[in-house]
Structure 1
Amino acid sequence: MSIIALFNAAKEYFEARRTHQMFRQLDDHYLKDIGFYRENGQIRPLSGKNDLESPSHEKTPMPPGEQPSDG
């Protein structure tokens, strides 16, 4: 791993940690105003399946019938 990649990983970690701390301090009413809710101690978005604590970077494949055509 290069030193630049290491610094970028550290930067992302500390930014995510700071964001999580800020979200944990918010009241449930404020969380709802910005599109999140608290469930079992985790902050989750109102729409979608991902939660703030464990972001998923994987892409879901699009079904063949819904893929855009090139023609």
Structure 2
Amino acid sequence: MSIIALFNAAKDYLEARRTNQIFRHLDDHYLKDIGFYRDNGHIRPLAGSNHDDNERPVKTHIPPGENPSDG
């Protein structure tokens, strides 16, 4: 694991921990109002995360002569 990946993992962990600490005192209704929900004691965003490893964008290959921006 590279040092940059290690720093990014630490940053993600600390952000999630800080979010849980800040929002822990709110009830479920208030969490939903600001875009979060409680899941087994953890606070999670309603919209998902950019760091979801299970969903990767699918890239489709378009031949050079058939690009939509060609007109």
- The structure whose Rg is larger is 2
